[in-house]
């Protein structure tokens, strides 16, 4: 009602609950749909919401600011031992392939970001096949999210740009994230992902916890923990239900 009385909405001081509602509405309707709603309802502008949704600027790889936020959430929750345990979920998100410029620095982004070893290996393969090496444009973003098991942690801890994800690439990046969290005393107990072939190959790259012989590896030793603590693998049940439905 206060916003309706103002001719210039830019001077409106929106209460936090309205900002949260607007962010949720923008998330489920896309930016175009949100602007359509603003024709009928007094809501914060997309530019105002951008300042709230981009407080932490996303970078390639692990996010230091997010790790600090996770530590603070655990501390505020009481710092009990069980509240330090998290489930790391990972999935690929399709992105628009093309060149993107970061406005704040002018840096050219949008390319597949390979580690030094992977890039040198690709250059060697291209040299053997008499092709000139070219860095590929990224088609997907590999996202890792930390979800507290008994704590309010629910944060994206790492983002990697990829083109065609391999099990080896997933292996190196997954363990980079696990080591990054364990180093901050955030204990990774579970990894959850869908049943894609790459994810299944990733699981088979590990030794079974306790050396048990089995057809499917459900757990392995969490070598980043420094203790004999297991790391469990879970194929996301909703994805399994979707697969059953689609078949």
Q: Which of 242, 229, 245, 241 is nearest to 86 (CA)?
A: 229
- CA 144 vs. chain centroid, Å, equals 3
Q: Do the beta carbons of residue 209 and residue 175 sit within 8 Å?
A: no
Q: Do the beta carbons of residue 85 and residue 149 sit within 8 Å?
A: yes
- Check residue 133 and give its pLDDT: 62
pLDDT < 50: residue spans in the chain = none
- Check residue 100 and give its pLDDT: 62
Structure confidence by residue, pLDDT tens digits, 21-53: 898 888 888 778 888 888 888 888 888 888 787
Residues ≥6 apart with Cβ < 8 Å to 219: 208, 209, 230, 231, 232, 233
What is the reported pTM? 0.72
- Check residue 116 and give its pLDDT: 65
């Amino acid at each position: 009602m206060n916003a309706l009385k103002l001719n210039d909405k830019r001077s409106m001081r929106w209460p936090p609950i309205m900002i949260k509602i607007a962010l949720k509405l923008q998330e489920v309707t896309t930016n175009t749909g949100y602007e359509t709603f603003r024709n009928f309802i007094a809501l914060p502008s997309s530019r105002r919401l951008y300042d709230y949704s981009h407080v932490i600027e996303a970078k390639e790889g692990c996010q230091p600011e997010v790790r600090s936020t996770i530590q603070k959430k655990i501390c505020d929750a009481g710092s009990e031992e069980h509240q330090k345990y998290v489930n790391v979920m990972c999935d690929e998100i399709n992105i628009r392939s093309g060149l993107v410029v970061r406005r704040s620095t002018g840096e050219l982004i949008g390319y597949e970001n390979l580690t030094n070893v992977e890039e040198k290996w690709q250059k060697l393969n291209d040299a053997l096949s008499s092709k000139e090496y070219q860095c590929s444009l990224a088609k997907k973003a590999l996202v890792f999210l930390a979800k507290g098991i008994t704590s309010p942690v629910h944060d994206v801890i790492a983002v990697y740009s990829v083109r065609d994800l391999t099990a080896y690439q997933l292996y190196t990046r997954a363990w980079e994230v696990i080591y990054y969290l364990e180093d901050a005393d955030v204990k990774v107990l579970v990894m959850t992902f869908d049943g894609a072939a790459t994810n299944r190959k990733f699981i088979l790259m590990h030794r079974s916890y306790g050396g048990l012989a089995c057809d499917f590896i459900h757990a392995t030793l969490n070598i980043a923990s420094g203790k004999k603590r297991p790391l469990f693998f879970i194929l996301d049940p909703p994805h399994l239900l979707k697969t059953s439905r689609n078949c």
